[in-house]
Chains A and B, each alone.
Chain A
C-alpha cells in the first residue's frame, strides 16, 4: 500500500462568505466557510482549497480571518488561492494557518515570484495554479496554452513547457484547471492532465469539469492525477465526499477511507 489519491473540495469565497451556494440540509449557515469546512472535514475531505474571489480590495483582508477561523477548527491541509501576488501575501496566509498557497496570474506575469516564494517558504507550500485551454485544431497534435483573466486572455505560453518551468522554479504542486471543461460537468480533460502529470516530477491536481463520480475516477486512471479537485458536485450535495471516496476505492484506487 502506498499513497492515497486525494479528494479536495474547493470553496469560492467572496468577502468572507462561501458563494456558489452550498446545499447541506443540516447546516445552519451555508455561507459560513467554517461550517462548510467543518462539514467537509467530517465527510473525509483530504484537504480543502479556498479560492478568494473577492473583487474589492477593501474586503481582501477578510480571507485572512476566514483562514484563521477555519485553521482553528479543521485539522487537515488548507490551501488558499486568489490574489496571491507578493511574498507578503504568502506570509500572511501561512501565518493565518494556511498550509499552502496557490499562485496563478502572478506567476505568469513574474515567474521569478515562484522561485522567490519557494526559496522563502519551501516548495511544500507553493502550489502553482495553471488555467489551460486547448488551442490545437482537431487534426493537430494536442496543444494547450495558458490563459489568464478567467480564461479570456491567451498568453501564448505552452502549458507543458510552463509546468516544467514552474517545477524547476520550485513549485511543490500543480493545480491544473481545464478552462474548456470548467463548469461543463462532462469530466476532466484527461489528455491535459496526463500530459502534465508525465511531464513534471511533482504532484498534479486535476480540476475543471467534474459532473459525476466516474469523472473523479478517470482523473486518476486516465489522467494520472495525484489529487482531484471539485466544487459543485459537493456543494450541491449531489454526492458526499464519503460517497466519492468509496466509489473511487471500489474502482481500485487507493483512498483514505
Chain B
C-alpha cells in the first residue's frame, strides 16, 4: 500500500488537508507526521503550511524536518500548499525579511494594496475567496480541471519565481501573480485544494495518482 505523508510541523490545522487526501486516496495510507524517517519512507509527500513566514521557518527547524523535506522535494511526488509553496522560495518580504528554504529561485512579496475592485473600493487584503486559476502549462495535476476554474485562496503574500518556466498557473487579484509552480516531481500551489470543493479534490486525486 502506498504511503502518503502530510508533513506536520505544528503550524496550523492539518485535519482539513488529511481528510481531503484520505477522501481521494482510497487505496493509500495517509499519515500526518513530523518524523524525518516517516517522511523519508513516504511514497508521496504533502507539505502544507499557514501563518507567518518567520514562524513557519522556525517550526520547520524546531521539528528537524528540513532535511527530510528537501530530500522529498528532490525525489518523490511532492505537493506544497499555501505556505508550503512560499517557503520553497529564496526570500520573503514578510516579518521585515525572512530567508526561506531557497529550493526554488525567487521571492515572496506582499500585495501592493494599490488596486481597486469592481466597486471602486481598495482591494481587501488578505486575498480571501475564490479566484480563477489560469493554467500556464499542461500538467498531470490539471487533468480533469478546466482552465480558469476557481480555487479558494487565503493569503497576503505571493511568490515571484525568477524563472518563468517554473510557473504552472497564474491568477489575478489587482495584479497577476503566480499561484502554482511545477518542476519535475514537485508541484506547489498558493490556493487551498482541500477547501476548493470538487476541483480541489480533483487536483488532490491527480496528485495521488501522479506517475513520474
Residue positions of A touching B, CB distance < 8 A: 1-6, 41, 46, 71-73, 75-77, 94-99, 121-124, 172-173, 197-198, 201-203, 220-221, 224, 226-227, 254, 256
Residue positions of B touching A, CB distance < 8 A: 12-13, 15-16, 19-20, 23, 50-52, 113, 117-119, 121-132, 148, 150, 152, 154-155, 172-174, 194-197, 200-201
Q: In the bound complex, what is the Cα–Cα distance between A142 and B75 (angstroms)?
A: 62
> Contact at B197–A75, with CB atoms within 8 Å?
yes
Of the candidates A73, A95, A227, the one whose C-beta lies within 8 Å of that of B129 is: A227
Query: Which DSSP category, helix, strand, loop or mixed, fits chain A's interface?
Result: loop
Contacts of B126 in A (CB 8 A): 123-124, 172, 202-203
> Contact at B124–A4, with CB atoms within 8 Å?
no
> Contact at A75–B194, with CB atoms within 8 Å?
yes
Name 6 A/B residue pairs within 8 A (Cβ), A-sorted: A1-B148, A2-B173, A4-B130, A6-B130, A124-B155, A172-B126
With A99-B195, A201-B124 as known contacts, state yes or no: A3 contacts B16, CB within 8 Å. no
Contacts of A221 in B (CB 8 A): 119
> Contact at B117–A2, with CB atoms within 8 Å?
yes
Q: In the bound complex, what is the Cα–Cα distance between A55 and B7 (angstroms)?
A: 38
Of the candidates B51, B113, B152, the one whose C-beta lies within 8 Å of that of A76 is: B152
With A75-B23, A198-B121 as known contacts, state yes or no: A122 contacts B152, CB within 8 Å. no
Q: What 7 additional pairs, Cβ within 8 angstroms, besides A71-B19, A99-B13?
A: A2-B131, A75-B195, A75-B196, A122-B51, A124-B126, A201-B113, A256-B130
> Contact at B173–A97, with CB atoms within 8 Å?
no
Distance in angstroms from A198 CB to nearest chain B CB is: 6
> Contact at B119–A3, with CB atoms within 8 Å?
no
Q: In the bound complex, what is the Cα–Cα distance between A227 and B127 (angstroms)?
A: 13
Of the candidates B113, B131, B194, B200, the one whose C-beta lies within 8 Å of that of A3 is: B131
> Contact at A3–B117, with CB atoms within 8 Å?
yes
Q: In the bound complex, what is the Cα–Cα distance between A27 and B127 (angstroms)?
A: 35
Contacts of B152 in A (CB 8 A): 76-77
Nearest 10 A-B pairs (CB), nearest first?
Answer: A256-B130, A4-B130, A94-B13, A256-B150, A124-B154, A203-B124, A122-B51, A97-B15, A3-B129, A72-B19
Q: In the bound complex, what is the Cα–Cα distance between A203 and B154 (angstroms)?
A: 11
Contacts of B194 in A (CB 8 A): 75
> Contact at B195–A3, with CB atoms within 8 Å?
no
> Contact at A96–B130, with CB atoms within 8 Å?
no
Contacts of B122 in A (CB 8 A): 201
Distance in angstroms from B188 CB to nearest chain A CB is: 18
Contacts of B16 in A (CB 8 A): 71, 75, 97, 99
> Contact at B13–A75, with CB atoms within 8 Å?
no
Contacts of A99 in B (CB 8 A): 13, 16, 195
Distance in angstroms from A98 CB to nearest chain B CB is: 8
